[in-house]
Each structure stands twice: as C-alpha cells, then as structure tokens.
Structure 1
Amino acid sequence: MLLIGIFVALVFVYGLVSRRLEGGYLTAPMLFTLAGMLVAFLLTPGLVMESGGQAFLTVAELTLVLLLFTDASHTNLRELRRDGMLSVRLLTTGMLLTIVLGGVFAWWLFPSLGLWYAAIVGAILAPTDAGLGQVIVNSPAVPERVRESLNVEAGLNDGLSVPFLLFFIALTGMQGFEASGMLLEYIIEQLGYGAVIGLLVGGVGGLLLASFSRLGWLAEDGEQMAILSLPIMALLVSEMVEASMFIAAFVAGLALQWRFRPASREDRFYGLLGEWLSHSVFFLFGLIALTALQSLEWRYVAYGLLSLTLIRIGPVLLALAGTALTMRQRLFMGWFGPRGLASIVLGLVFLEQHGQGEGVELVSQLVVVTVWLSVMLHGASASSGIRWLNRG
C-alpha cells in the first residue's frame, strides 16, 4: 500500500504542475521513472519484481493495449491511405534490419550471450513506443505524414516483434532444425488472428455504436464506456486464441473510426486512463531500473546508445530511401523511435516464458539500460528535435 500511496501522490503533484512542464525538457515518463528510482533507493530496490512481477506484466500489457487503441482511433485514415507505404517500409525493411543489427551488435559486445539470446535482445528492443512518442505524434509542428507514419509504426511493430521473440525463445532450448516452420506458425497465430480479432471487435463494435447512435439511444457517457470496452474485449479474445493483443487493439482502433465517429472526439475518459496507467508502468520501471543501473559496465551503455542510434537510424534511412521525405525528416524519424512500454512488456514476457537460466540476467539488464536511456534522451530531446526539424 505504501508504494500505491506514493504513486497516487506523485500523480496528484504532476497534475498540479503539468501545464508548467509542457514543452519543457522533463516529460512525464522521465519524471515517474526518476521518482521510482528515488523510491527504490530510499526503500527496497527490486521490490516490485519480487512481490508482483505478474501484476507488473498485466498492468503493462493493459496500458499498452489502451494506448495503442487510442492512438489508432485518432489516426488520420486519409493520410494513412495516401502515405501508408512509409509505414509499410518501416514495418518491413526497417524493422527486420533493426532486429538483425540489434542481435549482431549484442552478440559482438557480449559473446557469452550466444546467437539466440542476442537475437532475443534485438527482438525486444526493436519496437518503438507509442507512449514515449506522444509529444511527437501530437505536435502540430511535425508534418502529418511524419506523425502518422511514426504512430502506425509504433502501433504495429510491438505485435510484429512477438512472433520473432517467441521463435528465438524456443530456439534457446532446441536445435534449429527442430523449429522448422515454427516462425511461420507464430506469425499466422499472432498477427493474422490478431488482425482478424481487431477488425471484428472494432468493426462490429463501431457498427453497433453507429446504429444505436442513430436511434438516439446512445448517451455521451455511455458512448465512452462502450468504446473503452472494445480494447479490453480485443485483449481478452486475443488471450483466448493466443493472438497478439497489441495488433488486435491497434486494428480495432482503426476499424472503430472506419465505422463510427464518436460524438466526443476528445475521448478523454479512456485516453486519461491509458495515461494514468502509463505513469504507473514507468514508476514501476524506475523501481526495478535502479538495481540494473547500479551494476553498469561500459558495454551496457555502449549497446544502449547503439540501439538508439545506429541500430535504429541506419535501417530507417535505408527503408525510407527513395521517398519524398527530406533527409532531415528521415533522420528525425530515425532518432524518434523511442523504446519504452513495448520493450518493457516484451522483456516481461521473456522473463515469464524463460524463467531463469544462463543469459537471462544479461538480457534483462540490456533491456533495462536501453529503455532507461531512451526515456531520458528521447524525452529531453523531443521539443528541441521538433524545432530542429522545422528549421530545415
């Protein structure tokens, strides 16, 4: 209860000064991560993972599902249809190269990891974070095609990473030839089923909302509650059939606005709930990050910085080659691929699936250090990065 009380008090204090912090160098994820680290220093480091690792995973998954659904429901479908190939490039060439480079550099810097554990690091740190990128995707100063491409990339790449992660986890315990066809099976189950679930939940839900709205039966508060139930429904159905809840949530958000336009375009209820949960995840992350950061070697920091720069920016530049985007816009999109909620969730999934064993602790430390660096560096550079983009 003590940790809950501290967190709730922090949320209240943040609310009091939130306007003052807007556009500055201290973002909400930075604030709650640092607060969590301070609490861990004063109390018991690692308390959360020792007493409630499964609860942490559940909260993190729910948070990401709500944020992905919210972002998708605000995606400009007209802009997406026009410039959708930018997102496709990022989600194919860009993402696959990011996983490969992430694994190669992890294996190079940490030979003891072995090939498959290094590949696991690459898969966990490949997806970008919709939550950390809110400053970018919500800023009217960023060109809409850049914003929407980054938003769609962040919405889908976490779900795309899951089959690779599960595949690499399986390969750590078997010979390569025994896993023949496993990756394709994971992709079909995770992505195909996830997309179908999202289309059905969002499409049918939107159709029913539109029908009852025309009948005059739908109050605005009731509309908000009904909409909030859709991502939760997508999550639960995905869990039942072992599909990607993240793909399902994002596709459900897209399908909803295809069939129904909410009376309240602010969607404040579930938007604020997602933000509140996001703050809790970064607070919990700060609690466990302190232990990992206390035993740092230069190689951990080196890998984290490589992950945020060369491993991310190189594939993005290659994926966007030949497009109408300026070099400044491509570099901007390369840098602003923050690692946050998605990598935290995938890291927790790895721990849940793999338990203990050689390489597990090293993988966990690399993920924690990289996410921590991303929270700090991307948060501090968001406002100045937007100004830099508009100077071009």
Structure 2
Amino acid sequence: MAIDLVWIVLGFALLLAVFLPTAVERFPLSTPMVLLGVGAIVGLAPMPKGFTFSPQEHEAFVLHASEATVLVALMGVGLALDRPMRLRSLTSWRAWAPTWRLLAIAMPLGIVGVSLLGWTLGLAAPTALLLAAALAPTDPVLASDVQVEGPQTEAPQEMTQETEIDESDEVRFALTSEAGLNDGLAFPFVYAAILWASEGSPSHWGWKWLAWELVGKVALGVAVGLVVGWVLGKLFFRLPAKKYRLADAGEPLAALAAIMCSYGLTELAGGYGFLAVFVTAMAMRQAERGHRYYADMHAFIERLEQILTLVMLLLLGAAATNGVLSHADWRSAVIVAALILVIRPGGAWLSLLGRRDDTAKAVGLTTGERWITSFYGVRGIGSIFYIAYATGHADFAGSDWLWSTIALAIIVSVVVHGSTVTPAMNWLERHRTNHGRALADA
C-alpha cells in the first residue's frame, strides 16, 4: 500500500513538473511555489503508519539528495553561461565584475550580518555562524526565473575557434554566475562553524582555517575544475579520430560523467567539489564555444535537475506540514525577514554601486538592474545540504531550531521571490524598451 502511494504521488508530481512552467508563466507564481504547496498538501494527507518525512530523521538521504541536486544544477549553470572567462584577459575579468563584487562584498556582508544578528538574539556563536554560512549561497536550482536561458549555439559551418558569444542581460548573468560560484565559496564558512563547535575558540584553529579551508581548498577546486574541463574539452571536440568525438555523436550523458569525474577527483584531492563542477563546465565551453553539443548536454542536465528539484521541493513541503517548522520562533522570523528584506538586498546593492552609461560598450548595471539583482538572492537546496553536512560533523546547540529556521527561510524566499519575479522582470524589460526608444528619439 505504501509503495503504491509513493508511485501515485511521484507520477502526479511529474505531470505537474511538465505542465507547471507553461501554466504559471502568466501569473505571479513560480513552479517551486506550486510544488511546495503540493508537498504541503501531501504532508497533510492521511499516511500509513511510519510513512512521514523528517530531514533530521532521514539526514543521510537529505544530505546526498541535496548534494546531487546542487551538483547537477551547477553543471547546468556552467553550461548555460555564454560569457567567456579567459584567465589571461583583463577585459574578460572586468566583464565579470558584477559577479566578483557579489561574491567578494555581498556574500561576506551577508554572513557577517546574519551571524551578528543571530548572536545578538541569543544564539551560540558556532550556531549563528553555521546559520549564516548555510544561508549565504544563492540558489541555482530555484532561481530559474532570473537565470540565463541556456547556451547559445551556432550551426557548425558558421562556427570558428574565435566565435564570440556573450550574455546580453546583465541581471540574469550576474545572478546566474553568482549562484554558480557561491555554493562552493560558502563551504569555508561552514567549516569554520564546524571547527568552532568541535575545537573551541578560533584562536585554536583560525590560521589553519585561513590557509587551508579558505585559500587552499578553493584554489584546489578551481585548479582541478580547470584541468578536468580542459581534458574533457579535448576528448569531446579534439580527438584525431572524428568517430570517437562525443560532440559529433551528440551524447548528452557525458555531462553527467563530467560531474562525477570533476566532483570525485576534487573531493579525493581535498578541494571543494561544488566549485570544481562549475569551473569544469565553464572550462569545457572554451573548447568550442558555440557548438550545438552544449545545448544537448544542457537540455539533458536541465531535465535531470527538474526531477531532483521536484523531489526536494515535495519533501520540503511535506516536511513543513509534518513538524519541520515546529521549532521556529520569533527569532527565526526576525532573521529570515532581515535576510530577505535587508541584509541580502543591502549588501548586494552596496557591492554593485557604480552606475553605467547606456551605451553599446557599457559595463556594469543601471540603477534599476542593480535593485533587481540585489533583491533576488533566492535561498534553497544548497542551504539544506550545508545544514545536513554540518550537523553530521559536529554537535550544534539548537540543531532542531536550525532546521526549522532554514526551512522557513527557503519557503519564505520561494514565496516572496517567486511571486514578485515575473512583475519585476517585466518592469525591467519595459524600462529597457522605453529607455532604448528615448535614446533612439534623442
């Protein structure tokens, strides 16, 4: 009986996943919002004895399911980004300036802000830091409405090695690239919370953390990602025997193999695998930037991501009506509201200061673009992974409260951002159109 019910629920949910994107595109709703609602309804339905879901009781499953979801999403993001990142080009580094600002300024400000707020409200210092670190990354899984759409490709006869393909939407590029990188860059701060909870004062481990967790593992993740991406690019596009080139065969499963190789090798070497997977995807795109094979791989990864996200959102919704929010209190509400309405928007706005001129060679964000980029920092599946990972490696005071607060933050973020993103992006498009007409008439 129980297993039959699982098949029915999953079948119904998959039908929803197929129909929802088209059904809700004209409404101030997002697919994640509806899936959370369906999960909540499922959680309220009568279930066989013992057939309930709690992330604390199923921590190993939650850890690996969220890990797989984030990994697939990071590969998808890396394949979708069209803007090149050439390490030896100053122009290329400048073109990524919004991303670097969000990572180097907005993310640390967010961690400091949530940590200080939690500590002020009575949380133990390691617990406050873990909460801040887990909520630091924006989510590449749930932010599809503000992401770039996918890789641009060209017909093989039109491609050259120097094909220039770039992003045209600075807001979508900034939010997508930020989400691709900050999942890996949040890890050092999660480790800091683990060390604080298990080894005591930062004076005992601070220098070790700075040298290895913050610098060494990041460098290792980037290095392994670059090497794996370069090697796979050669295998896919440059093998002397054309019949062995996967790019010509169009086999999209290679994207899944790239995830596993990059993540496994990096974790084995001691680096940050999340970071490596994103870098691997970016490095692969340098081989043949406009090849249609990227679209094939991205389409496959996108479908897999949808299925994994579907499962995670249904489970989160079911858990929300089965007690995962029971430990949330007024402190949870204050922290979540401050994060979504003040800390993230304020920190990101400050990091993006510097208005551009609306010219063909403009660099940066307009005022309207900066406000929208600052506000849409969706929290999601990565936060679930980090909490599951940290609580499995150290004892934190108030771990049940942490789970409730993280779940509340994700749900509120999905609802607030999901219900406003369509009107906001429509407003931005109208503003761009009107501004373009004004320039043309001048």
The residue number in structure 2 matching 1:275 is 306
8 A contact 1:32–1:286 mirrored in 2: yes
Amino acid at match of 1:188: V
Corresponding position of 1:24: 27
Q: Is 2:378 the partner of 1:338?
A: yes
Further displaced range: 318-327 or 150-159:
318-327
Other-structure match for 1:180: 206
SS in 2 for 1:293: coil
Report the 3-state secondary structure (helix = DSSP H, G, I; strand = E; otherwise coil) of the residue aligned with 2:392: helix
CA contact (8 A) 2:224 2:265 kept: yes
Q: Call closer, same or farther: CA 1:376–1:188 in 2, change over 3 Å.
A: same
Residue identity opposite 1:121 in structure 2: L
Q: Which residue of 2 aligns with 1:328?
A: 368
Residue 171 of structure 1: how far off its partner (Å): 0.8
- Matching residue's letter, 1:53: E
Structure 2 gap segments, 5+ residues each: 86-91, 151-166, 357-364, 432-442
Q: Deviation at 1:280?
A: 1.2
- 1:217 corresponds in structure 2 to 244
| 2:181 alignment counterpart | 156
What is the deviation of 1:16? 3.7
Corresponding residue number in structure 2 for 1:319:
351
Deviates more, 1:64-73 or 1:20-29: 20-29
Structure 1 residues 17, 120: CA separation in 2 closer, same or farther (over 3 Å shift)? closer
Distance 1:348 1:303 in 2: 20
Q: CA deviation at 1:372?
A: 1.0
String of CA shifts for 1:15-70, please: whole Å, max 9, x gaps.
Answer: 24542222433322112222222222223685243663212211211111111111
Does the 8 A contact of 1:159 with 1:190 survive in 2? no
Structure 1 pair 179–269 and aligned structure 2 pair: CA distance change class (3 A): same
Q: Equivalent residue for 1:263?
A: 292
Report SS of the residue matched to 1:172.
Answer: helix
Judge conservation of contact 1:207–1:260 (CA < 8 Å) in 2: no
Once the 2 structures are TM-superposed, how far is the Cα of residue 299 of structure 1 from its aligned partner? 3.0
Say which SS state the counterpart of residue 195 (structure 1) adopts: helix
Give 1:86's aligned residue.
98
2:133 matches 1:123: yes
Give the AA of the match of 1:309.
Answer: L
Contact 2:40–2:317 (Cα < 8 Å) also in 1:
yes
In structure 2, distance between residues paired with 1:94 and 1:53: 30
Amino acid at match of 1:279: L
1:26/1:380 contact within 8 Å kept: yes
Q: Which runs of 5+ in 1 are unaligned?
A: none
- What SS class does the counterpart of residue 223 from structure 1 fall into? coil
CA RMSD of aligned residues (A): 2.4
* 1:1-392 correspondence runs (5 A): 1=3, 2-3=5-6, 5-42=8-45, 43=47, 47-49=53-55, 52-78=58-84, 81-108=93-120, 110-111=121-122, 113-138=123-148, 144-173=169-198, 174-184=200-210, 185-212=212-239, 215-218=242-245, 223-261=251-289, 262-264=291-293, 265-267=295-297, 268-290=299-321, 291-324=323-356, 325-354=365-394, 356-392=395-431
Identity of aligned pairs, percent? Answer: 24
Q: Shift of the alpha carbon at 1:189?
A: 4.1
Q: Which moved more, 1:24-33 or 1:243-252?
A: 24-33
Deviation at 1:5, TM superposition (A): 4.2
Q: Number of residue pairs matched?
A: 388
Distance in 2, matches of 1:45 and 1:302, equals 33
Per-residue CA deviations over 1:239-284 (Å, capped at 9, x if unaligned) read 3223212101110110010113443424322221122111111122
What secondary structure is seen at the aligned counterpart in 2 of 1:334?
helix
**Rg larger in structure:** 2
Report if aligned partners of 2:230, 2:283 keep a CA contact under 8 Å in 1: yes
| Distance (whole Å) between structure 1 residues aligned to residue 73 and residue 355 of structure 2 | 29
- 1: distance between equivalents of 2:243 and 2:402? 54
Amino acid across the alignment from 2:413: S
Aligned equivalent of 2:160:
none
In structure 2, the CA distance between the partners of 1:213 and 1:8, relative to structure 1 (3 Å rule), is: farther
More helix, by proportion: 1
Higher mean Cα deviation, 87-96 or 322-331?
A: 322-331
